[in-house]
Structure formats: structure tokens, C-alpha cells
Structure 1
Amino acid sequence: MLRATCLGLILAASVTLPALAHFQELLPSADVLPEGGTVSLDLVFTHPMDRGPQMQMDRPIRFGMVMDGKATDLSASLVESLDGGKSAWRAFVDLKTPGAAVFFVEPAPYWEPAEGKYIVHYAKVVVDSFASGEGWNAMVGLPVEIRPLTRPTGLWTGNLFTGVVTKNGTPLPFAEVEVEYVNDGGVTAPNDAFVTQVITADANGTFSYAMPRAGWWGFAALTEADARMKSPEGKDVPVEAGALIWVKATDMVKVP
């Protein structure tokens, strides 16, 4: 009877515990640089809406930007930072010419024992230098990637963001897209259903979402990678390949 009671408590706990969505953050200090200049970028693997916990992020495999049709490796600019013993990364990049810089990261695979899989979230964000409005829809060529149909810079709160989920360059029908807000501490979710919003893309891989609050929003299209990996115990396990894009919404402010 004691064994059955303990088993029942364990099962109940597994049902009631919330599932935390992992998001690879790639957040710049601004989405638009009206006069160009230096932008800082923070790379953190965390749960944005819940404001943590932060997971260990090993040195990324790739970090760079695409601008004016040219890809630039920025890996050497990464500086490691520690928060509670967990690694994150920061970089400073000087944008001297007009145009949109599409920053991207391919993180090292993260082993998630609770789910029995590795996680690799290919994240990107667009920073528009000199408010050019040019080059924002350039694709990096990542294994899984979101193609923006809405310009992802200079967006007002309430604007509709639309994108297409692609895998190996081809639209992915009915992909599941998770959406989270980078909580500044000013939002308390009524319950767990409000922490992660969920969208299913249509038959053409297209999805849309209206951002209801100012700040950074992450869109994560989750798929299973074609190749499996070996777990720390040597077993073949799946790999969650996520395509992420970060978009900022800005409130309209009354000018005196």
C-alpha cells in the first residue's frame, strides 16, 4: 500500500508540474540604430516568460551575421559571463554602414535528461543600422529557420508578425511555433497556460501573432532533426532542432 501511495504521488507530481519551454535568447541592445554604431548582443539559454531558470550554455558552434549578402564570423567577439554558475555569452559589434544585420547563433547541443533528447535552437535577430529598412528578409541558410514576412524591426505594440517556418530551405507545413515574452518582471501569468503561447503554422508553413505588449518576443518553431545523437549513456536519442527569431515591439509614445 505504501509503495502504491508513493507511486501515486510521483505520478500526480509529474502531471501537475508545468513544462518549461526552453528558448535560446539572442537579444540586441536595440532593433534599430538610427545613426549606426555599436550594438551589444546577449546570448542566454533560459525560460524568458518565467525569468529563468537559466541553463548552461557552452561556447556556441557558430555565431555571426549576414549583411549585404555577406556572412561574417563573429565567434571571436564572444565573451563568457556567469550567472549562478551557468555560462552565457555577450558580444559587441560595430555597424558602420546602412543595412540590416541578421545575427545568428548555432549553440552547442544541450542535453535535456528530463526529456531524453538534445536541444539545438538556431536563433537569429535583425538589427537595422541607420534605420535603412533594407535587407531584413535575408536568410542565413540554417537547417531550420524562420523567414520573416513582416519586417522584424520598427514594430509597434499590437502589430502582427508573420513568418514562414522552413527546414532545409523548404516551408514546413503545420509546424508548431511556441511564443514567449521576455518578461521584465511586470507581467504575472494568471496560470501556466499563459506562459507559452502556441501556434500551428498552416499548410505553407506560415504563422502570425499580434504582440500585445512592448518588449522582446521569441518565436520558436520546434522540429526533430534528421540525425540522432548519442546520449551521455551512449544511447541513440532524438535532437530537437528549433528555429528561433526575436522581434521587438515598441509602444507608441505621445510627443509633448
Structure 2
Amino acid sequence: MFKSLVVLCLLITSAGMAFAHFGMVIPSTSMAVEKNQRNLSLQISFSHPMEMVGMEMVKPLEVAVVTDGEKTDLSETLQAATVMEHKAWRIDYSIKRPGVSQFYVVPQLYWEPAEDCYIQHLTKAYVASFGEEEGWEEPVGLRTEIVPLTRPFGNYAGNIFQGRVLMDGKPVAGAVVEVEYYNKDNKYAIPNEYYVTQAVVADDNGVFTYAVPWGGWWGFAALNTAPEKIDHNGEQKDLELGAVLWTEFLEPMKK
């Protein structure tokens, strides 16, 4: 009887620890500086990046890239893939000219029973190519997005990163921004559950600041509740809109 109660308590405790979901867009490189980096592969998933726990992702509604203000729809080039042992997607893309490319994904709504709401993470990543770096501070016009205030490429581990959270084109005062590392190959151990997801609060202008401790891909997710409700089996449920940005930081190289 005692053992059963212990197991039940552990299950209840674990259920209360809801770790963050992240839409993920991870390019094969964040900076194409050599000709052989022209051809990119982008990994698209919905996962728990620090814990390296995957989730099933249905085909996104839209995948596109914006370069020099020009949008190219890439949805027809989506290919099924596997990320963290779960269904995911990938895109192969060839850079045509120098510039900053903003890749973004609009996924289908995801029902999360544990949170009793729908989730939709509008996710972006940047690739700079062949010496150009203009336009990275421009929004692409998603319903909600993080617009970087720090250049989102060519950053060292340890740098301060800043971004502004927008919803319908307006700054979101006091937005909570969750931060996670893509712990590829389980490189880093997690001391305890509190270290899985970092959290910072944006100021009155929607600006948040985070100091990146080590190199790799880092995701920033600003979560806000949409004003409208979504029907789920005859009941009106909340929609969590996530503005997600992934950017790469590199360790300094020694001679």
C-alpha cells in the first residue's frame, strides 16, 4: 500500500512539471560563407529541446523564407523527417544570392490536454550569406514574432541577446520569454528540473535580455494568450500563441 502511494505521488508530481514545448527551425548553418554552404537543410520539429524529447508534428500550414523583403513560399518542398524519434519535417533550400534569409514556419494548431488549451508556435530562424547582413532587424509580419535587437548570427557564446516581442505588430509589455538550449547529442546534463527552461520578463516596450552561457542553438519563446477562443469538443478553449526565435552562438576559436 505504501509503495502504491509513493508511486502515485511521484506521478502527480511529475504531471505538475510541465516542461516547455518549442517549435523548432534549425538550419544546417546560420552563416553561409563558403560556396559549399549554399545548399541548406532545415530541420522543422515540435520538441522539448533541452531534454531531447520529441513530439509528433503534423504537416505545417506554411513554411516560407523572406530575403530582402521578398517572400518565397517553401511549403511545397516539405519532406517528412524524424527528429528525436518523432515525426518531423525538413526542407532543402539553395541560397540564390547574398543576403539575410528569415525562415519561418506556421504550424497547425496543437491540442495540449495537460494545459487544456491549443498551442501554435510561429517559429523563425535566420541565415546570413556571403557577407551581407542587412535587414535582420525587420519583422516578417507574423501575427506574433520576436524581432531581434541583437544581430541574430555571428554571435559568441557569452554574448547578451536582446529581442522585442510583438503581437499584431505591437510590443507586448511584460511578456514572459522562455529560453531553452538545443541539447543535441545530450551534451549537457541538467542539474534539476528548474534548469530545463530559463525565463525572463520583457519590459514595458516588449524588450527582453538574456546572456547566453555556452555555444550552440538557443530558442526564445514568448507565449501569449490569443483574444479568441477555439472550439474543442463543444467547449471554448484558449489558444497559446508562441513567438519563437532560434539563433546560433559559437564558442571562440583558438589559433
| TM-score normalised by the chain length of structure 2 | 0.92
Over the matched positions of the two proteins, sequence identity in percent amounts to 41
How many Å apart are 1:39 and its aligned residue?
1.0
Q: Could you tell me how far apart the structure 2 residues matched to 1:178 and 1:30 are?
A: 23
How many Å apart are 1:140 and its aligned residue?
1.2
Secondary structure, aligned partner of 1:122:
strand
- Give the direction of change, closer, same or farther, for the CA distance of 1:14–1:207 in structure 2 (3 Å limit): same
Matched-pair contact (CA < 8 Å) for 1:102–1:138: no
Q: Could you tell me how far apart the structure 2 residues matched to 1:200 and 1:186 are?
A: 27
Match of 1:163 in 2: 163
Q: Tell me the amino acid that sits aligned with residue 178 of structure 1.
A: E
Range with greater deviation from structure 2 (111-120 or 132-141): 132-141
| TM-score normalised by the chain length of structure 1 | 0.92
Taking the TM superposition and a 5 Å limit, the aligned residue runs for 1:15-34 are 15-17=13-15, 18-34=17-33
How many Å apart are 1:86 and its aligned residue?
3.4
Matched-pair contact (CA < 8 Å) for 1:64–1:71: yes
Residue by residue over 1:118-166, the C-alpha shift from the partner in whole angstroms, topping out at 9 and shown as x without a partner, is 1100000010011312121221111111110000000001011100001
Which ranges of structure 2 fall in alignment gaps of 5 or more residues? none
How many Å apart are 1:8 and its aligned residue?
9.3
Q: Could you tell me how far apart the structure 2 residues matched to 1:202 and 1:69 are?
A: 28
Match of 2:214 in 1: 213
Q: Could you tell me how far apart the structure 2 residues matched to 1:85 and 1:191 are?
A: 24
Match of 1:192 in 2: 193
Range with greater deviation from structure 2 (138-147 or 169-178): 138-147
Compute the RMSD of aligned alpha carbons: 1.9
Matched-pair contact (CA < 8 Å) for 1:177–1:221: yes
Match of 1:57 in 2: 57
Residue by residue over 1:219-244, the C-alpha shift from the partner in whole angstroms, topping out at 9 and shown as x without a partner, is 0000001221112x231111110000
Q: Could you tell me how far apart the structure 2 residues matched to 1:29 and 1:71 are?
A: 20
How many Å apart are 1:107 and its aligned residue?
0.4
How many Å apart are 1:13 and its aligned residue?
3.5
Matched-pair contact (CA < 8 Å) for 1:32–1:131: no
- Give the direction of change, closer, same or farther, for the CA distance of 1:129–1:57 in structure 2 (3 Å limit): same
Residue by residue over 1:32-75, the C-alpha shift from the partner in whole angstroms, topping out at 9 and shown as x without a partner, is 001351111000111000010x1111111110011111111000
Matched-pair contact (CA < 8 Å) for 1:216–1:249: yes
Number of matched pairs: 250
Which ranges of structure 1 fall in alignment gaps of 5 or more residues? none
- Give the direction of change, closer, same or farther, for the CA distance of 1:179–1:84 in structure 2 (3 Å limit): closer
Secondary structure, aligned partner of 2:13:
helix
Q: Could you tell me how far apart the structure 2 residues matched to 1:50 and 1:112 are?
A: 18
Q: Could you tell me how far apart the structure 2 residues matched to 1:227 and 1:45 are?
A: 23
Range with greater deviation from structure 2 (37-46 or 134-143): 134-143
Matched-pair contact (CA < 8 Å) for 2:52–2:84: no
Q: Tell me the amino acid that sits aligned with residue 12 of structure 2.
A: S
